[in-house]
């Protein structure tokens, strides 16, 4: 029974997984572009962000149609509403990868990736968090989701480290002020990417339990 | 919240068919409790045990207990006419008597001995108002009830039930023969009526149960599988059978 509905729910899930992969690729490319000062790759990230945005719209449209035509309840309702919440976070991660790519595109001169010691660390952490969050979501794995949520403190700490380093660089080389602001913005974007990975994990918790941050939502 | 009706280890057999299996269920006062489940699951049978309508069925055997305000309604000393005055019932098909609107509503009070015209006028007006029907029929109280629309007839049946001042109203799929607007009118009415009455409703309409019921019980082949707050049952059912039924995976 409800074959049509189940097919639609499967398509919704498949779309979400695809969007997750697009977002992960964007982050990997962003780090590669950063490491190797690859401006062509930075351009590609910005161009591909449109595909991520389109995917968000198509998932939203599918979810709205399901609510309209199938009136989902219980697990079905949580699957559809979780999809609607998660696409927003995925889309924001994509945006932030593109925002970083845009900064990279306008860099000139110095190779900056390792100038600030903690930048590679925060980039790596953000990448891991997104990868694990998407994986947890696909596998419906609450244990992994919990680990990602706990990583939030680490990425916040790394951001503080970057900030401290940037302040030190700025104090020593005032002529590097523009670079320093770029560093700080990149670090902030990466830290926000971590926040969105945490959100995805929290929505997975809602998906499995109806509860978000110990608050029963439904 | 106070418990109005309580079923304890209730078993019902139609001949050899075990139609209700050891059902324990508390019905809360001034709340709407919905019974859901596939056809033949026992939900209507259970509803009918609450005012002993099953007494009329041949070869029926009931064990266990149903209490109304802690009194066992299956006690041999219970007068079923008084019981059914306290626990009224509305059926799937609107079944007005072939008489005027006024006489339909006055029928019960007259049977219970009220003859004074002024008193009957008051009861008829009050009951029709409580059933949200008065304004639509005030100018034709003495015309045939059979001329009313299906939705109006069903509200008339509710008015007829209210006229004898029940404490509990049982409704067996009261809107399944009605159009969507009439259905919503009845649902709104039940939400109003629960302030004064205890309501139990059998429904096949899952959205209806989730819209109006405070509590929901899911029945399956005579067993009461799950019972809880409606919000819990429809959002996070505990039993997989409930989940499968309410999401339309079987039944």
Residue B246 forms contact with A (CB below 8 Å): yes
Residue in chain A closest to B237 (alpha carbons) equals A74
Report the alpha-carbon distance of residue A91 to residue A19 in Å, rounded: 9
From the CA of A159, how many Å to the nearest CA of chain B?
39
Do residues A80 and B235 lie in contact, with contact meaning Cβ atoms separated by under 8 Å? no
Residue A174 has pLDDT above 90, yes or no: no
Is the CB of B247 less than 8 angstroms away from the CB of A209?
no
Contact A167, A181 (CB under 8 A): no
**Percentage of chain B modeled with pLDDT above 70:** 99
pLDDT for B31 equals 98
Q: State mean pLDDT over A91-108.
A: 94
pLDDT value at residue A110? 66
Token code pair at residue B7: 């079923």
Tell if the CB–CB gap between B206 and A73 is shorter than 8 Å. yes
Query: Which of B127, B142, B59 is closest to B88 using CA atoms?
Result: B127
Residue of A nearest to B236 (CA): A74
Composition of chain B by helix, strand, coil, percent to 5? 40, 25, 35
Report yes or no: B205 at the A interface, CB cutoff 8 Å.
Answer: no
- Which tokens in the block code for residue A194? 């971590």
pLDDT of residue A108 exceeding 90: no
- How far does the CA of residue A208 sit from the closest CA of chain B (Å)? 9
Decide if B235 and A72 are in contact by the 8 Å CB cutoff: no
Domain boundaries, chain A: 2-216
**Looking at this predicted complex, what is its ipTM?**
0.85
Q: Do A75 and B247 touch (CB under 8 A)?
A: yes
**Is it the case that residue B210 has pLDDT exceeding 70?**
yes
Which band of pLDDT confidence, cut at 50, 70 and 90, is reported for residue B251?
A: low
Do A73 and B249 make contact, defined as CB atoms within 8 angstroms? Answer: no
Query: Taking the model in full, what pTM does it have?
Result: 0.91
How many Å apart are CA B137 and CA B105, to the nearest integer?
12
A2-216 folds as Methane Monooxygenase Hydroxylase; Chain G, domain 1 (1.20.58)
Spatial neighbors of A13 by CB under 8 A, at least 6 apart, are A79, A83
Grade residue B250 by pLDDT with cuts at 50, 70 and 90.
confident
Whether residue B215 has pLDDT greater than 70: yes
State the number of CA atoms in the 13 A half-sphere of B71 facing the CB.
10
What is the per-residue pLDDT for A179?
Answer: 85
Give the pLDDT score at B71. Answer: 97
Average the pLDDT over A202-209 and give the result.
97
A1 with B206: Cβ contact below 8 A: no
Q: If you average pLDDT over residues A168-180, what whole number do you get?
A: 88
> In angstroms, rounded to a whole number, what is the distance separating the alpha carbons of residues B190 and B90?
12
At residue B153, the pLDDT reads 97
């Amino acid at each position: 029974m409800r074959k049509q509905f189940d097919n639609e729910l499967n398509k919704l899930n498949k779309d979400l997984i695809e969007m997750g992969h697009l977002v992960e690729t964007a982050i990997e490319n962003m780090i590669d572009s950063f490491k190797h000062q690859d401006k062509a790759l930075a351009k590609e990230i910005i161009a591909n962000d449109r595909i991520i945005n389109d995917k968000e719209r198509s998932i939203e449209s599918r979810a709205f149609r399901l609510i309209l035509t199938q009136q989902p309840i219980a697990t079905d309702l949580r699957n559809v509403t979780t999809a609607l919440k998660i696409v927003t976070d995925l889309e924001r991660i994509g945006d932030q990868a593109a925002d970083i790519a845009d900064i990279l595109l306008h860099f000139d001169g110095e190779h900056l990736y390792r100038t600030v010691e903690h930048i590679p660390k925060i980039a790596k952490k953000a990448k891991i968090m997104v990868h694990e969050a998407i994986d947890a979501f696909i596998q419906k794995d609450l244990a992994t989701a919990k680990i990602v949520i706990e990583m939030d403190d680490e990425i916040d700490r790394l951001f503080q480290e970057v900030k401290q380093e940037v302040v030190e660089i700025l104090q020593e080389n005032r002529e590097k002020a523009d670079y320093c602001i770029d560093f700080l913005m990149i670090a902030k974007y990466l830290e926000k990417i971590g926040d969105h990975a945490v959100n995805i994990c929290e929505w997975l918790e809602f998906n499995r339990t109806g509860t978000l941050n110990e608050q029963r939502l439904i | 919240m106070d418990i109005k009706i309580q079923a304890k280890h209730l078993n019902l057999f139609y001949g050899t068919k075990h139609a209700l299996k050891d059902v324990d269920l508390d019905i809360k006062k001034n709340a709407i409790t919905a019974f859901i489940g596939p056809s033949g699951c026992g939900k209507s049978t259970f509803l009918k045990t609450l005012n002993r309508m099953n007494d009329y069925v041949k070869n029926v055997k009931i064990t266990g207990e149903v209490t109304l305000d802690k009194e066992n309604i299956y006690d041999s000393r219970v007068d079923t006419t008084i019981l059914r005055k306290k626990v009224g019932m509305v059926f799937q098909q609107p079944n007005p008597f072939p008489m005027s609107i006024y006489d339909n509503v006055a029928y019960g009070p007259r049977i219970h001995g009220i003859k004074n015209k002024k008193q009957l006028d008051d009861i008829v007006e009050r009951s029709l108002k409580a059933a949200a029907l008065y304004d639509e029929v005030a100018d034709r109280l003495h015309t045939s009830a059979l001329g009313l629309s299906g939705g109006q007839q069903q509200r008339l049946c509710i008015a007829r039930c209210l006229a004898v001042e029940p404490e509990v109203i049982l409704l067996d799929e009261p809107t399944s023969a009605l159009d969507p607007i009439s259905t919503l009118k009845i649902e709104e009415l039940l939400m109003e009526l629960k302030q004064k009455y205890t309501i139990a409703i059998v429904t096949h309409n899952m959205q209806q149960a989730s819209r109006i019921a405070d509590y929901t019980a899911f029945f399956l082949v005579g067993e009461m599988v799950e019972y809880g707050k409606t919000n819990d049952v429809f959002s996070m059912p505990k039993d997989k059978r409930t989940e499968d039924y309410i999401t339309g995976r079987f039944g």
